[in-house]
Structure 1
Amino acid sequence: MKQNRPLFRRFLKVHFLFIFLPPIVLIFFSAFAGFSNTGEQLNTLNLFYATLLLFGFIIVAFVILSWLFFLKLQKRLARLQEVMSSSAKNKSFPKPISVQADRMDEIDQLGSSFNWMIQQLEDSRKREYEEELLRHRLIANLSHDLRTPLTILRGHVTRLNKELISLEGQNSLTEINHMITRIGDLMDDLLTYTLLTSGKHPFEPTSTDIGRLVRASVAAWYPAFEEKEIQLDVDLPTEETFYWEADPKWMTRVMDNLFQNILRHAAEGKYANIVVDVEKELIIVVDRGPGMDNSPYERGAGIGLSTSNYMLKKMKLKADFTSNENGTRVAIGRA
């Protein structure tokens, strides 16, 4: 077991010797010289000068030793503080500091505790990284493996549609086909979110014409809205626009998620309003559905919304949701 050597106790011990030992020696020397019969007697003036010189030496030695002690202490603490501050600036784990095992005073004990803390943090980060990697790999494998049985189920549904079955059976097959599509969409959302959070989805920000991007997204989704008989009310200026430093593919994915949610959860409202506010630099999407809290697919929609929010945060944007029983309003703007 390492023997601790208290730093301040040594400091006090050395200073105690310098302060009290010389006067004691002087007292004994004076007593010896005063009662000596053979030695030459010191006169009072010489004794005063010797005492003054001795106390002057004690004061000078005390100041020098104190200065050297605190200078050495300041250097050791500054070295420890430099390691901590450099890690904070670089946003990385600090490197362990050197510790003298044979000395192990208070500063070395502090450094040893600091090194132990770094080791624990590194071990924790390593375990977290391995668990995150395992979770991402598991989700990716599950998303891939589940596609095969879903494809087989869809094939059987298609085959049964060609058979002569009752109206109730036809409705059941239609619902099964709808749920297969729903599960496939959820798997796509989950896989996309996993790729995003693991850094495997490329992020390429550039100056993006938002008005043009929204018009292209609305044009792509217009047949789907028309098929669901949803009245589409758009206000997309063609002569004016604004630009965001964003990834066009990510912004398109965000718009796709919003429009997909309208088809899934607000189709019964038969209305969607899409506005590009150039003056306020906002994208506004409004529907007349039952609201997010009343949607039967609220839990499933959470993955897509989490993906969109992650993308928007990465692009320094945000989406403000206002939802009630009369519909949902989403406003996308700068964070």
Structure 2
Amino acid sequence: MKQNRSIFRRFLKVHFLFIFFPPIMLIFFSAFVGFSNAHEKDLNSLNLFYLTVLLFGFIIVAFVILSWLFFLKLQKRLARLQEVMSCSAQNNSFPKPISVQADRMDEIDQLGSSFNWMIQQLEGSRKRAYEEELLRHRLIANLSHDLRTPLTILRGHVTRLNHESLSLEGQNSLTEINHTITRVGDLMDDLLTYTLLTSGKLPFVPVTTDIGRLVRASVAAWYPVFEEREIQLDVDLPGDETFYWEADPQWMTRVLDNLFQNILRHAAEGKYANIMVDVEKEQIIVADRGPGMGNSSHERGAGIGLSTCHYMLKKMRLKADFTSNENGTRVTIKHTERTSTSASGEVNRWSLE
């Protein structure tokens, strides 16, 4: 392997020669002239002084020119490397490898070689991360699909046992088992939906959406469920007035479904839900009288549903402000550039944006 060369060592060698070699030659020449009697008569001290000044002037000029050429070449090589780095930073992409002269391999070439090696390592890491992400998405999707079969079998056995004569305690156990199966199924749906969203399998199709009409349709679909759980539904939806958002109707419906489902899971004991569309402020408000988000719940999961809502709302340039205390939770969906003030006395506050 060829030994690396030092650009600064070459610089010092060349300048050393131009600084010390001419004076040494002048001293040698003067000494040689001193031994020659014939030349001693023709060479006077004034000519020797002019020769010395001329020689030192040449040394200074040569020193400046060589230094300027050296640093100009060095600046061009460093500027080329800096240009490659700046271009990649602006385009948010990996830079292309730079050319390196293997027969020279000075400090700048060594820096370029290290830079090229770093690019290769980063590209390899990104490729491995992409493959691992695809594998993770595929694994979650397959698990969500495969786990539905045993859950369906369990639900079939629970249905069969419901027709058998069981004690009151047995009936309560079957009810709890059925409820747990439903809960696990909902969690798998949330996980599968989030995986499909983050992998780009559920496309985002924004259109001009009538928000009043969309909320009204969602409330009508969930009304029998609230009525079955004996939850008082207070709905304030203007009939003639409305507003429009550039949003994906399916994604907005999914967000509302998640909020309504959270009321049934965590705030059903409050027996109240308020759904309102504020046309003037262009907001959707969903409130309940549950124990609040700060209190623990045996059905509280890892927040996959809220993560899904976060992703959808952010994609649609919306956000959800969560205001919660022991008297209930209030969710306000609005544009990200809009701000709102909250009432006094709030204990906990979350912002999903």
The equivalent of 1:145 in structure 2 is 146
Deviation at 1:4, TM superposition (A): 2.2
How many matched pairs?
334
The Cα offsets for residues 142-166 of structure 1, whole Å up to 9 and x where unpaired, read as 1111111111111222222223333
Where structure 1 has 5 or more consecutive residues not aligned to the other structure, the ranges are none
Instruction: Please give the alpha-carbon distance, in whole angstroms, between the structure 2 residues aligned to 1:156 and 1:287.
Output: 35
2:301 match: secondary structure: helix
Residue-by-residue CA offset, 1:62-98 (whole Å, 9 max, x unaligned): 2221121111111111111111111111111112212
Aligned to 2:342: none
Give the Cα separation in 2 of the matches to 1:282 and 1:33.
Answer: 102
3-state DSSP class of the match of 2:141? helix
Match of 1:26 in 2: 26
SS in 1 for 2:99: coil
1:204 aligned residue = 205
* Amino acid of the structure 2 residue aligned with 1:3: Q
Q: 1:298 aligns with which of 297, 300, 312?
A: 300
Give SS of 1:239's match: coil
1: CA distance, partners of 2:143 / 2:281:
43
215-224 vs 265-274, which moves further: 215-224
Residue 256 of structure 1 and its aligned partner are, at CA, apart by: 0.6
Per the alignment, in what secondary structure is the counterpart of residue 263 of structure 2? Answer: helix
Structure 1 window deviating more from structure 2 (303-312 vs 26-35): it is 26-35
* Matched residue SS, 1:245: strand
For the residues of structure 2 that align with 1:32 and 1:334, how far apart are their CA atoms? 93
Q: Which residue of 2 aligns with 1:163?
A: 164
Following superposition, the deviation at residue 285 of structure 1 comes to 1.1
Moved more, 247-256 or 163-172: 163-172
* Alpha-carbon distance in 1 for matches of 2:329, 2:19: 82
Matched, 1:47 2:48: yes
Aligned residue number for residue 273 of structure 1: 274
Give, in whole Å, the separation in 2 of the partners of 1:296 and 1:329: 21
Q: What per-residue deviation string (whole Å, max 9, x for no partner) do you get for residues 35-54 of structure 1?
A: 31244632233223322322
Residue in 1 that maps onto 2:350: none
CA distance in structure 2 between the aligned counterparts of 1:7 and 1:189, rounded to whole angstroms:
61
1:243 corresponding residue in structure 2: 244
CA distance in 1: counterparts of 2:94 and 2:22, whole angstroms:
51
Shift of 1:271: 0.6
Q: Which residue does 1:263 correspond to in 2?
A: 264
Q: Give the 3-state SS of the residue equivalent to 1:100 in structure 2.
A: coil
List alignment gaps of at least 5 residues for structure 2. 337-353
Amino acid at match of 2:36: S
Amino acid at match of 1:18: F
Where 1:321 maps in the other structure, the secondary structure is strand
Quote the Cα distance in structure 2 between the aligned partners of 1:279 and 1:22. Answer: 89
Matched, 1:57 2:58: yes
- Name whichever of 23-32 and 204-213 sits farther off: 204-213
Aligned to 2:345: none
Q: Which moved more, 1:120-129 or 1:186-195?
A: 120-129
Counterpart Cα distance in 2 of 1:80 and 1:304: 46
Quote the residue 2:183 is aligned against: 182
Q: CA deviation at 1:135?
A: 1.4
Following TM superposition, by how much is the alpha carbon of 1:2 offset from its aligned partner in structure 2, in angstroms? 4.4
Structure 2 SS opposite 1:328: strand
Cα distance in 2 for partners of 1:321, 1:278 equals 20
Moved more, 21-30 or 162-171: 162-171
TM-score of the superposition, structure 2-length normalised? 0.89
C-alpha distance 243-2 of structure 1, shift in aligned 2 (>3 A): farther
Q: What TM-score, normalized by structure 1, do the two folds share?
A: 0.93
Over the matched positions of the two proteins, sequence identity in percent amounts to 86
Q: In the TM superposition, what whole-angstrom CA distance separates every residue of 1:180-218 from its partner, at most 9, and x where no partner exists?
A: 111111111010111111122211223333222222211
- The CA distance in 1 between the partners of 2:44 and 2:109, in whole Å, is 52
Asked whether the equivalents of residues 294 and 325 of structure 1 are also in contact (C-alpha less than 8 Å), the reply is no
Find the aligned partners of 1:30 and 1:238 in 2 and give their Cα distance: 111
CA deviation profile, 1:226-276 (whole Å, cap 9, x unmatched): 221211122223333333332221111111100111111111111111222
1:272 aligned counterpart, secondary structure: strand
Distance 1:122 1:258 in 2: 41
For residues 237 and 78 of structure 1, the distance between their equivalents in structure 2, rounded to whole angstroms, comes to: 63
* Partner secondary structure for residue 294 of structure 1: coil
**CA shift at 1:174, angstroms?**
2.2
Q: Please give the alpha-carbon distance, in whole angstroms, between the structure 1 residues aligned to 2:9 and 2:175.
A: 85
Per the alignment, residue 16 of structure 2 pairs with: 16
Contact map agreement 1:204 1:246 (CA 8 A) in 2: yes
- Alignment match, 2:233: 232
Alignment of 1:92-103 (within 5 A): 92-103=93-104
Secondary structure of 1:322's aligned partner: strand
Counterpart-to-counterpart distance in 2, 1:11 and 1:297: 73
